[in-house]
A and B are shown apart, each in its own frame.
Chain A
Amino acid sequence: MKAFLLFKDKDLDPKQILMQRERKPRAWETDEKLSLKQFLPWNEEALTKDLGLDILLSKMADGDNFLYETGKIIVLSSLTDAETILYRQGILNDCMTNEQLVRDLYRLLIDAIEKEKASHWWGLFSSPSSILHESLDKLKMFTEMLRKLRDYAEQNEEKFASEGFIKLFKTLRQELNDEYLSVIEEHFRQLEFEDGVLINAELGRGNKGTNYILNRPYEDKRNWFDRLMQKKLPGYTFEVSPRDEAGSRALYELRNQGLNLVANALAQSADHVLNFFHALRTELAFYIGCLNLRLHLAELNEQVCFPVPVKCGERMMSFTGLYDVNLALSAEKKVVSNNLHAIDKILFIITGANTGGKSTFLRSIGISQLMMQAGMFVPAESFKAEVHESIITHFKREEDTAMESGKFDEELSRMNEIVNNIKPGSIILLNESFAATNEREGSEIAKQITKALIESRIKVIFVTHQYEFAHGFFEKKMPDAIFLRAERLEDGTRSFRVLEGEPLQTSYGEDLYEKIFNQSLEKSSYQTQVQSSSKE
């Protein structure tokens, strides 16, 4: 039984690493095998940092670390097929329509998991019989939960329309039917071994007993041991005196050895059921995160929409009302949005005024692209874009205090790593890259890199103030290039809108200098932007 809420045919976390991380909160710090990295793309750190994803993920998590981690994995592990994107959109849409019901389901799963955790007590001194009894208790509890799960499916099935949920509920109904549950309960009765145990064995090395196999007790509950004896099989019986402590202990050990395999099977079964609950919970957790995010955005009166994914290669970048979701969430205000309609474009060069909203614009495209390729809604009125092979960022690192030459070296080294990993069909967002040198050299390098990238069918969105580079491409009059500019109004103020426009020679740094030094406005660019945007 699988959840199949994230993929039609596979699990998010087949090895249940996320559960292990949750159950052993400190172990993953030292255990490589529990590292989140194995789920994440090679450039997750750059993506998280450049696009400011922590804000988005925290709002999805609402303080729940498990939601944070599942959210992080799914947002960063972009889907590359439109079909799965639409599959998730369907499920997410169901969740949005039945928000309370879905949250109830999530609660039910959490309950089962937490109860199991609370009953976990075997440790160093465990024996097969203690493992057997504890597993039995757990399975009894789980069986109740499974019954509830099945009842939930029966009662609510009709309210859900997506392929994923319909399949899940059908599975639950069929696999957990009454007949099956009664088989389980019959086992529970027999596993008490009220009449003793029957073990088959062989002579092993040194004439020592080995291969102890416990036989299934007979269904007929009337004293089957008496019946066995009546068959008059030759046999020898030994009674251990209650005062013979060593003998009693040895007999108990022997019984334990007989129970060993059954106890193991039972404990593993309990694990399997727990893992099933957990798999379901893990996959649902992503949608709970999305529901949380939507609530936060609704509070800010920000809209979301389901994006339209277009096959990779169909050059499409078209949106209305696109805003930077992180900016909105951190400012807790509605922010400036942008529109763009770019068809058959592979190169986007964005120039214009400093702190004019270029970076914000670039980030909003990156985040929305990621959200779309995770199967989420996006922060826009409408959004239609290609599904890319991978989403890559190369942003100027302002915090670098290294000398100029070192900084440029660092930039190129990062670019080198990108080139090691990038595939055709990807999208790369560059923000003021290769500018840590003089403009001529920087422009030349930027030009060469950009040219190579677009010729490899990689969509390039490049924010730059390097006029020579931007203008150079403009002059070529390529049909598949588009030039955008941060808007600057007549009076020198910025609207933080990005519009189509030819690269201009100056970036209006002079204005900004004037503004900051002569009018002593607040220095944080985010705050400046928010103030301006709230005037709208």
Chain B
Amino acid sequence: MSFISILFDKKSEQLKAQNAESPPFFIDLNLDQVVDAIASKWSEYNLNPFFYLSLNTVDSIHYRHEVFKDLENELVYEHVKFFAEEMQKVKNYLKLVEKLYYQHQKEIWFLYAVEIYCETIKKFSGDLNSVQLKSRGLVSFKDYLQNYIKSKHFTSYYNEVKKLNEELAKIKYRIIIQNNSFTVQNYEPGINYSDEIEKTFQKFKQGAVKDYRIKYDSTPEYMNPIEAQILNFVAQLNSGLFSKLENFYKENAAFIDETIEVYDREIHFYIAYLEHIEKFKQSGLKFCYPVISETTPKGTGKEIYNYEGFDLALANKLNELSSVSNGKQARQTGNGKQVVCNDFYLEGEERIIVITGPNQGGKTTFARVFGQIHYLASLGCPVPGSKAQLFHFDNIFTQFERSEKVENLRGKLEDDLTRIYSILEQATSRSIIIMNEIFNSTTIQDVSFLSTRLMERILELDTLCVWVTFVDELASFNEKTVSMTSNIVPDNPALRTFKIVRRQADGLAYALAIAEKYRLTYSSLKNRIMQ
């Protein structure tokens, strides 16, 4: 199999990714934050478009899973990472060459860039051969590299680089400074005067003394005009070698192989993602490779689950907070907030999760997690959770209550309905719809009415849906709806557990907890009264 891309098993997908733009649901699901957190550190690779394109086929997803799994082998990761870092150096050197002013400087730094490039590729090829690879992507790239380093193109300039470097390292010269002039000549041996001085006064030595050497700026890329002039003279004294160097610089401008350059960019999709999730793994959070289920002609295949999932955007925020505040474990932050993990599953005919319960209890987060996890799965990434089976959707639609100023309630409701209409127009039975507190801007009767209508439409579509609402009756609409509620800590109703669990929405959970706290529940009262 010839190598196409480390990210895509089809050339056509790779081309699509070039112009991919952020999907409309990104902001509602906080996926914009997730992607920023992952990719911002690697801006020079322009990774964002890769995160904007859901993969079309399950096989494409597996193609990435394989690469991810190979990279989870520490040794493989180390090699891949080393290559990436060295390639970065090559690019930095080339940038430096652009900036440098003196010709002989440009030439030498160019030579260094090519040297690193050659050595890195050679090493990486050997490294990949020394480890066991299973992914189609890395195996075919390994083959590609092996052929590449055998090519005449590669070997010829690699040899030339080595020869030039060796000869340059041998150059010695001497400088004579007299008043305002200096002379550069070929090297001739002399007596090191500092040694002489040391010897003369050696007898007084009692012990170690201070080092009086002045540290000179040894930044090798900086050169002042006098140093440059000396270098010119040295080049004139060694004109044969320096003209070879000059030719090398002129003739090899495009030395980087295009396929390797593309690989270098694309592999960072994996590096960026793995490095991002590593800190969460360190703090005990889990990631897994989801089973991707596809819809069958009969309309089944929508049985999904995810255990111990969490909001990747929120986790990142809490992680940053905690590393700033007290450096404690990421799960436990300064203000006592934890990354809360939640489970969900849909069995048989179940399609719609209706979430009710006290506010500030993690309902919106739960809805986001549902969307995030599905989306990340469609990118072929490991997802938050210990175990997951997820649906291979064709699109995600979101409708979230925005806290923007509303001048006109009627206008707002109209907007909501327009938007929902358009969603229902586009959605298919393979879509996912996530709605959060819609229709809040109208009366309860209106909300009930509109929600019921909407529910009927969605059920008809057989679409997977998460719906956060305060309309309790939606939770028990029919056998296709599943009720989940947010919860409070019974002893202290002000505290939320941020756990969303399957439970009948009776509007009582909250009141019950308060009652228990004051021992006013039925059984408590009975005991108290009897005494």
Contact = CB atoms under 8 A, between A and B. Distances in A.
B212 A267 contact: yes
Contacts of B194: 213-214, 261-262, 264-265
Interface stretch (B164-172, B272-280, B306-314, B523-531): B164-172
A197 B177 contact: yes
B207 interface: yes
Interface string B189-212: 111111111101111111111111
Contacts of A63: none
B183 A272 contact: no
Nearest to B173: A201
A126 B204 contact: no
Contacts of A234: 185-186, 237
A195 B218 CA distance: 28
A248 B180 contact: yes
Contacts of A276: 204, 206
B197 A1 contact: no
A14 B231 contact: no
B204 A269 contact: yes
B210 A200 contact: no
Given A197-B177, A204-B220, A254 B182 contact: yes
Interface residues of A, number: 76
A2 B203 CA distance: 9
Given A1-B204, A175-B203, A236 B197 contact: no
A128 B212 CA distance: 8
A235 B180 contact: no
Nearest to A215: B190
A205 B220 contact: yes
Interface string A210-238: 10011111000000010010000111111
Contacts of B460: none
Interface in B142-185: 168-169, 171-185
Interface string A175-206: 10000000110010000000111111111111
B321 to A, nearest CB: 37
Given A198-B174, A198-B176, A269-B200, A208 B223 contact: yes
A268 B209 contact: yes
Interface stretch (B82-90, B103-111, B366-374, B431-439): B103-111
A42 to B, nearest CB: 25
Contacts of A11: 206
Contacts of A195: 178
A207 B232 CA distance: 10
A241 B225 CA distance: 13
A41 interface: no
Given A239-B181, A250-B227, A262-B194, A208 B206 contact: no
B522 interface: no
B182 A251 contact: yes
Given A197-B177, A258-B177, A261-B194, A233 B188 contact: yes
Interface in B105-136: 105, 108-109, 112
A128 B174 CA distance: 19
Nearest to A129: B214
Counting chain A CB atoms within 10 Å of each CB, the highest count among B192, B195, B233 belongs to B192
Contacts of B211: 264, 268
B213 interface: yes
B174 A201 contact: yes
B226 interface: yes
A208 B231 CA distance: 7
Interface string A369-396: 0000000000000000000000000000
Interface string A129-156: 0010000000100000000000000000
A236 B200 contact: no
A253 B227 CA distance: 10
Interface string B215-243: 01010110111110111011011000000
Interface string A236-266: 1111111000111011011111101111111
A275 B209 contact: yes
A271 interface: yes
Contacts of A2: 206
Counting chain B CB atoms within 10 Å of each CB, the highest count among A198, A214, A233, A255 belongs to A198
Contact of B225 (A215, A235, A247): A247
A93 interface: no
B168 to A, nearest CB: 6
Interface in A331-385: none
B168 A184 contact: no
A271 B211 CA distance: 10
Contact of A208 (B189, B190, B192, B220): B220
Contact of B196 (A204, A216, A239): A216
Nearest to B203: A1
B234 to A, nearest CB: 7
A258 B109 CA distance: 25
Contacts of B185: 233-235
A269 B198 contact: yes
A196 B175 CA distance: 11
B204 A273 contact: yes
Contacts of A492: none
Contact of B206 (A16, A201, A248): A16
Top 9 A-B pairs ranked by shortest CB distance?
Answer: A215-B190, A269-B201, A196-B178, A206-B220, A205-B220, A235-B185, A250-B226, A267-B212, A261-B194
14 contacts: A139-B201, A198-B190, A199-B175, A199-B176, A202-B173, A203-B169, A215-B190, A215-B192, A238-B183, A240-B181, A246-B225, A256-B214, A272-B204, A276-B204
Given A263-B213, A269-B197, 17 more contacts: A15-B207, A183-B200, A200-B174, A200-B190, A214-B193, A216-B193, A233-B186, A236-B183, A237-B183, A239-B181, A251-B182, A254-B230, A262-B197, A264-B211, A267-B210, A273-B201, A273-B204
